[in-house]
Structure 1
Amino acid sequence: MLLASFFGLAIGLILGLTGAGGGILAVPALVLGLGWPMTQAAPVALMAVGASAALGAVDGLRQGLVRYRAALLMALLGGAFTPLGLYFAHRLPEDLLMGLFSLVLVLVAMRMHRQARGAQGVAAEHGWQQKNCMLDASTGRLRWTLRCGLTLAAVGSCCGLLTGLLGVGGGFLLVPAFRQLTDIRLHGIVATSLMVIALVSLMAIVGAVRAGVVIPPAGGVFIVASVLGMLAGRIAAPHVPPRALQNGFAGLCLLVAAYLLCKTFA
């Protein structure tokens, strides 16, 4: 229980500091820290990330930042594809799942490092005219074109598939996809992504429980501790230099990915 509390607080703190993508380390914390198999760790990690995301989404709704129509569309498609991810998660070898998860961690680390160097911001400035989803200047709302709807549906589907397969909330995919494909401001992107994560995680958790996954008491402790850690992280985030935070998170992802690969295939 003590270890579950420690890792829960640590993951919540990282989630609060880094935003929607920080929850990707919840599964490694349970697998490496508590020795759980990935199929057991994934639903507990989703509960922790989903609960934290729900708090952020409620705050975003209160401030009027959430693009709720876009979030609902993506969550519906994500919920539809989550069972497919769960299906493969329970049939693929554990070693393959670990390898896929490590690859995702490496990709997240690379994106964070590029973001710290400011590369994404430069790309966004030069590519704004090619955005798939644009805001209407007169209303401030998204223009619901066929292209925009298909784009959001595709991103939501991928998010749901990865949520079911690897037990990740999908923030590492949603935030950069929103930044690349829409002209929504960053605060709105994060708030909308948190709502999608909360809804898709809830659907994935229901599917996992119906499939017979049992949440042990240590899992409940981990979830509660992660929520408390997330609240502490959100308070501390404004006082931490963003570049140092992004580089630190990228380095941590690479270390965890390397350790996972060594533990799995050594």
Structure 2
Amino acid sequence: MLAVVYGLAVGVTFGLTGAGGGILAVPALVIGLGWSMPTAAPVALLAVAAAAATGAVQGLREGLVRYRAALLMASAGALLSPLGVELAQRLPHRVLTTAFALVMTLVALRLVRQAFGHVACDPAADSPRPPCRLDPASGRFRWTPRVSAILAAIGALAGLLSGLLGVGGGFLIVPALRRVSDVPLHGIVATSLMVIALVSGFAAFGALSAGVRIDAMGASFIAASVAGMLVGRRLSGRLPARFIQVGFAGVCLIVAVSLFLSGGS
């Protein structure tokens, strides 16, 4: 029952935030169910992959996903996610927990800055001439070696963090794409969801190939996350963006403190 409750909470948060809620999957399993980081990461990855795929399919139907960019980032992420999985199996639990708590703190601080106007809501405002620009005629990226390298680097870092910490990487992909591209926010979120689904799925497959197994509790958590994602997507348009950002930031800070305190346990 607890696995279902936590899975629903993670899924709803994922649906509300668009791409950042997956960062709560590991803490839900570590703090809520008492799992270790190496055990929780594969289950979290599968839950994030399934929930993100649900949102990505909707984005594809609406024509919001920049699928070529998503495939490039996911391919780069897939190359580095096995390294993250390998590191996660070798590093001490305390190190992984502390690293995760630091990541959550940074995410929370960025959200607070954004919610209160310190970060522009318009992606073009961050950079008057972002390197990854859309062609006004076709609506597609103007592909150059530089554009390919930037997008691949974003995907590679997201893949490394996916394998290492069991996160989807949306907290990294979304702000990165907002800074380096002029894609509208809805398109960025939809593209990020596709990248998350592919990278997280690949990282989870790598963990399963390494001998990790998903029990009934883990399967319940994954299924509940998908259901929660659908609920969150329906609620997202009815709540103010600032309310969602500040609320999510507060949750991240509370979880980060809990992880710091439990890092040695």
TM-score (norm 2): 0.97
Q: 1:223 offset after TM fit, Å?
A: 0.6
The answer for unaligned runs of 5 or more in structure 2 is: none
Measured in 2, the distance between the counterparts of 1:205 and 1:259 equals: 25
Matches within 5 A, 1:62-101: 62-101=61-100
1:69-91 deviation digits (Å, cap 9, x = unpaired)? 10001000000000010111000
Q: 1:136 offset after TM fit, Å?
A: 0.8
Q: 1:29 to 1:127 in 2, by over 3 A?
A: closer
1:61-117 deviation digits (Å, cap 9, x = unpaired)? 111111111000100000000001011100011100001000000011011111111
Matches within 5 A, 1:240-255: 240-255=239-254
Name the SS for the 2:237 alignment partner.
helix
Name the SS for the 2:212 alignment partner.
coil
Name the SS for the 2:128 alignment partner.
helix
Q: 1:69 to 1:124 in 2, by over 3 A?
A: closer
Name the SS for the 1:134 alignment partner.
coil
What letter matches 2:45 in structure 1? L
Extract structure 1 runs of 4+ deviating beyond 6 A.
none
Give the equivalent residue in structure 2 for 1:256: 255
Measured in 2, the distance between the counterparts of 1:42 and 1:11 equals: 14
Give the equivalent residue in structure 1 for 2:131: 132
Q: 1:122 offset after TM fit, Å?
A: 6.3
Give the equivalent residue in structure 1 for 2:37: 38
Give the equivalent residue in structure 2 for 1:237: 236
Q: Calculate the aligned-residue CA RMSD, in Å.
A: 1.3
Give the equivalent residue in structure 2 for 1:204: 203
The answer on whether the counterparts of 2:133 and 2:142 sit within 8 Å (CA) in structure 1 is yes
Q: 1:118 offset after TM fit, Å?
A: 2.3
Q: 1:204 to 1:122 in 2, by over 3 A?
A: closer
Give the equivalent residue in structure 2 for 1:187: 186
Give the equivalent residue in structure 1 for 2:140: 141
Measured in 2, the distance between the counterparts of 1:59 and 1:123 equals: 23
Measured in 1, the distance between the counterparts of 2:120 and 2:158 equals: 23
Q: 1:265 offset after TM fit, Å?
A: 3.9
Measured in 1, the distance between the counterparts of 2:191 and 2:122 equals: 22
The answer for unaligned runs of 5 or more in structure 1 is: none
Measured in 1, the distance between the counterparts of 2:149 and 2:237 equals: 35
Give the equivalent residue in structure 2 for 1:55: 54
- Identical pairs, percent: 58
What letter matches 1:252 in structure 2? V
Give the equivalent residue in structure 2 for 1:166: 165
Q: 1:127 offset after TM fit, Å?
A: 4.0
Aligned residues: 265
